[in-house]
Structure 1
Amino acid sequence: MKSAFKKELKILMLEDLQDDVGLIEHALSRDGVPFTSLQVDSRDEFVQALQGFLPDVILSDHSLPQFNSIEALKICKEYGYNVPFILVTGTVSEEFAVSCLKQGADDYVLKSNLARLSSAIANSMRQRQVEIRRRQAEAALRKQNEELTKINKELDSFVYSVSHNLRAPLMSVLGLVQLAKMDDDSHQRLFHEYFNRIEYSIHKLDETLKEILDYSRNARSEVCIERVNLRGLIEETFDRMRYLSGSEGIEKEIVVEEEVPLFSDAHRLIVIFNNLVSNSIKYRAVTKERQFIRIHVRVTRTDAFIHFEDNGIGISPELITKIFDMFFRATSKSEGAGLGLYIVKEAIDKLGGSIQVRSDFGEGTVFEMRLPNKQDIVPLITTQQQAS
């Protein structure tokens, strides 16, 4: 038993019978437990011993003339003493023993079986150490989570602030370039090509900033489930893209079949459709007489199935497996940072869905998406909000 105790234990005994103290000390000495002990038998002495003796273990008889183990347990909790508390008493009922354990006692040993006392002390000390380490780990984890939350909030603020502060002067420069282009029309268009290149670079940087914002929002924000007006959302997407060069020449076909309404995250759906539609417009096959984008959506009680198709330039076979990679750009025509389809995949993953792509180079591209219909979550969310 010596190996179980690496230092001399300070044992506080709450006991009013000196003979029983002797029996306890004899049992511990016989098992080779190194210890010093202090006996008390009243509330005041017990409190003074906790503060002055600073015990490693408390051994308590249940019932003393003016004090008992239940009161002693309450005092330990009030003063915040986290040391093993073992009941050492005469015959007790099983119900009483369970009650003591529920109130904070680590173990109980009958005075008729003191041979078990040393192992009970060793086990209780080990369990207390495990509990202390667990609490320390939880506290450290909470602190890390708080720090991480703080860092994430600061990063979000930084991304939004920097993006806004960069986009505002970009738009001012773009306005000045467009004014200069109009003035240059009356001067034999000497600098028109320069202005076109500046304008292209501005649009390219602006596209990158928008991708960074979309990426940040998708990575940081929680999924927000609500009823989605799919047709309206898709039509709004095309309306936003009407200023993109070439959008006016593309046929739009939208079919939405809803057995039931779709409940999902509208913001992430907007990001998904924005990126897919803008890519189809940018990478349209300009030599084709007829250019189209077809979107077919079927909503069931469990899922939304989205078929997105265009007849643009397509994707070559060797690149098809890389299109969802971060910063991957399949063509020099790309104006962004190569985050568009990566964000689409990440947004779909956040929603618990899936996406597949097939493409014939020079013919067009098809994206097949499945998104879970979260309609069953909405009543739960509403109930939780009402309860709070």
Structure 2
Amino acid sequence: MSDPSETSPVRILHLEDSRVDHTLVKFALQRGQMHHEITLVDTMSDFQRELATGRHDLVLADYHLPGFTGLDAWAHQKSMAADLPFVILSGAIGEEAAVDAMHLGISDYLLKDNMPRLTHVIERALEVSQTRRAKARADARLAESRQRLAELTEHLQVSIEQERADIAREIHDDIGGSLAAVKLDLALLARRAEDAETRRRLEGSLEMLQHALGASQRIMMNLRPPILDQGLVAAVQWLAAGFERRSNVRVHVRRSSDQLDVPRDVQLVAYRTAQEALTNISKHAPETTGVEIDLSDREGVLTLEVSDNGQGMEDDALMKAKSFGLLGLNERAAKVGGWLDVSSSPRGTSIILSVPLPSDEDGTPSIIDLLDDQSNFV
């Protein structure tokens, strides 16, 4: 057991109008071997002055005082945002008043005829207070960490979209341009070739070159589709048509109108959501025979729902290691003020993106706005 003299004293602000009771408190603390410093005040003004100094660790207050009560003192302490344990010590507090005091946030209460327990009550109040403060600090650090993580996620999304735009531009300008030039030269040579074998080989090379051009266009469109410039409906229909062509799975797109008035950053989030949902279907639901896509901006909310008739997802699918696709979509949705819902059953899976739409533009630059100057591929 450590020597009490080696620890910092507990600084107690004692609100009490009886000098005798104050003496009894000091005696109880001494018998309990609590290293302490105690300051006596008996008026509200003195209490307010002492509390404002910030020198105290705990308030010990009588319940009945001349002209006010211990609860009045507690209310003042709360108004000053002074985070101190507050213990009621009284000889005449009823059970109902004690319960009400605890509901208000009083740390504890003790009857004066039970003074030997005073040290224990104070120690417990201090321990609870320290635990609460530690939790508050941990919660604050956690909130700060989450905020920084959200900011990092946003930065990474912008960086990813910028990198996609840069790569797509290079494919369009460099690879696409070079392949187109080679195609023209080979076509010219094929027309002028007199030898049948040479012509046959040139025509075969032209077919492979056309395949390479198609692949480069497809990759470029996946990286940063210019079709988004034609609107979200056209972009989603293009995605659906490509998926249907590659997978032989029927895709039906329903929309509330042919043109949706949607902010450009929300368009990108919705497009990536549809893209990820279709990718998940091709990877994880090969038994799917039909996909439904609903796109609506009714009631001021953009809603995108992608549903399949596959066998559904496992209950822990979202918690699996490296399962970042849908988690990333959640972050994207949150950044534009929306949310993502995933529901799954043995009859299939639905991914629903919901984003409240602004009544009018606020002029804030979006991710696509930041990329537009460098991503004109048409």
TM-score range, shorter chain: 0.5 to 0.7
Query: Residue 119 of structure 2 aligns with which residue?
Result: 118
Distance 2:251 2:103 in 1: 63
Distance 2:132 2:149 in 1: 25
**How many angstroms does 1:200 deviate by?**
3.7
Distance 1:84 1:92 in 2: 19
- SS in structure 1 opposite 2:157? helix
Once structures 1 and 2 are overlaid, which stretch shifts more, 197-206 or 52-61? 197-206
**How many angstroms does 1:295 deviate by?**
5.6
**How many angstroms does 1:236 deviate by?**
5.3
Distance 1:29 1:196 in 2: 95
| Number of residue pairs the alignment of both structures matches | 286
Specify whether residues 274 and 184 from structure 1 end up closer, same or farther in structure 2 by C-alpha distance, changes over 3 A only.
same
Contact kept in structure 2, 1:16 and 1:64, CA below 8 Å: yes
Query: Residue 94 of structure 2 aligns with which residue?
Result: 93
1:207 lines up with 2:219 in the alignment: yes
- SS in structure 2 opposite 1:185? helix
Specify whether residues 202 and 40 from structure 1 end up closer, same or farther in structure 2 by C-alpha distance, changes over 3 A only.
farther
Specify whether residues 372 and 182 from structure 1 end up closer, same or farther in structure 2 by C-alpha distance, changes over 3 A only.
closer
**How many angstroms does 1:112 deviate by?**
1.1
**How many angstroms does 1:195 deviate by?**
11
Alignment counterpart, residue 306 of structure 1, candidates 302, 310, 316: 310
1:39 lines up with 2:40 in the alignment: yes
> One-letter code of the match for 1:305?
N
Distance 1:55 1:49 in 2: 8
Query: Residue 107 of structure 1 aligns with which residue?
Result: 108
Contact kept in structure 1, 2:8 and 2:35, CA below 8 Å: yes
Contact kept in structure 2, 1:305 and 1:370, CA below 8 Å: yes
Contact kept in structure 2, 1:170 and 1:202, CA below 8 Å: no
Specify whether residues 89 and 271 from structure 1 end up closer, same or farther in structure 2 by C-alpha distance, changes over 3 A only.
closer
Task: Report 1:307-386 matches (<5 A).
Answer: 351-353=342-344, 370-371=348-349
Alignment counterpart, residue 241 of structure 2, candidates 234, 239, 242: 239
Contact kept in structure 2, 1:4 and 1:122, CA below 8 Å: no
**How many angstroms does 1:21 deviate by?**
0.6
Cα deviation, 1:70-114, whole Å, max 9, x if unaligned, reads: 121122112222121100111222111111112221011111111
Distance 1:344 1:31 in 2: 59
> One-letter code of the match for 1:296?
T
- Alignment RMSD: 4.9
Contact kept in structure 1, 2:86 and 2:108, CA below 8 Å: yes
> One-letter code of the match for 1:64?
L
Cα deviation, 1:335-371, whole Å, max 9, x if unaligned, reads: xxxx9xx969999x9835489xxxxxxxxxxxxx831
Query: Residue 83 of structure 2 aligns with which residue?
Result: 82
Query: Residue 296 of structure 1 aligns with which residue?
Result: 289
**How many angstroms does 1:277 deviate by?**
6.8
- SS in structure 1 opposite 2:56? coil
Question: TM-score, structure 1 length as denominator?
Answer: 0.59
Specify whether residues 346 and 86 from structure 1 end up closer, same or farther in structure 2 by C-alpha distance, changes over 3 A only.
closer
Alignment counterpart, residue 186 of structure 1, candidates 184, 188, 193: 188
- SS in structure 2 opposite 1:37? strand
Distance 1:82 1:134 in 2: 14
Contact kept in structure 1, 2:14 and 2:40, CA below 8 Å: yes
Cα deviation, 1:229-258, whole Å, max 9, x if unaligned, reads: 9xx99985563369xxxx6xx9957498xx
**How many angstroms does 1:273 deviate by?**
3.8
**How many angstroms does 1:147 deviate by?**
0.2
1:156 lines up with 2:149 in the alignment: no
Contact kept in structure 1, 2:63 and 2:93, CA below 8 Å: no
Distance 1:18 1:183 in 2: 108
Distance 1:74 1:269 in 2: 54
Query: Residue 284 of structure 1 aligns with which residue?
Result: none
Once structures 1 and 2 are overlaid, which stretch shifts more, 198-207 or 86-95? 198-207
Contact kept in structure 1, 2:172 and 2:217, CA below 8 Å: no
Contact kept in structure 2, 1:298 and 1:306, CA below 8 Å: no
**Unpaired stretches in structure 2, ≥5 consecutive residues:** 226-232, 253-269, 293-306, 312-319, 330-339, 357-378
Question: TM-score, structure 2 length as denominator?
Answer: 0.60
Q: What percentage of residue pairs aligned between the two structures are identical? A: 18
Once structures 1 and 2 are overlaid, which stretch shifts more, 31-40 or 197-206? 197-206
Cα deviation, 1:166-200, whole Å, max 9, x if unaligned, reads: 20231123144214411332245999759967984
Distance 2:321 2:219 in 1: 18
Specify whether residues 2 and 98 from structure 1 end up closer, same or farther in structure 2 by C-alpha distance, changes over 3 A only.
farther
**How many angstroms does 1:7 deviate by?**
2.5
> One-letter code of the match for 2:349?
L
- SS in structure 1 opposite 2:188? coil
Specify whether residues 206 and 112 from structure 1 end up closer, same or farther in structure 2 by C-alpha distance, changes over 3 A only.
same
- SS in structure 1 opposite 2:8? coil
**How many angstroms does 1:64 deviate by?**
1.4
Contact kept in structure 2, 1:255 and 1:295, CA below 8 Å: no
> One-letter code of the match for 2:348?
R
> One-letter code of the match for 2:186?
D
Query: Residue 59 of structure 1 aligns with which residue?
Result: 60
- SS in structure 1 opposite 2:140? helix
**How many angstroms does 1:32 deviate by?**
1.1
Distance 2:111 2:220 in 1: 75
Specify whether residues 19 and 133 from structure 1 end up closer, same or farther in structure 2 by C-alpha distance, changes over 3 A only.
same
Contact kept in structure 2, 1:167 and 1:206, CA below 8 Å: no
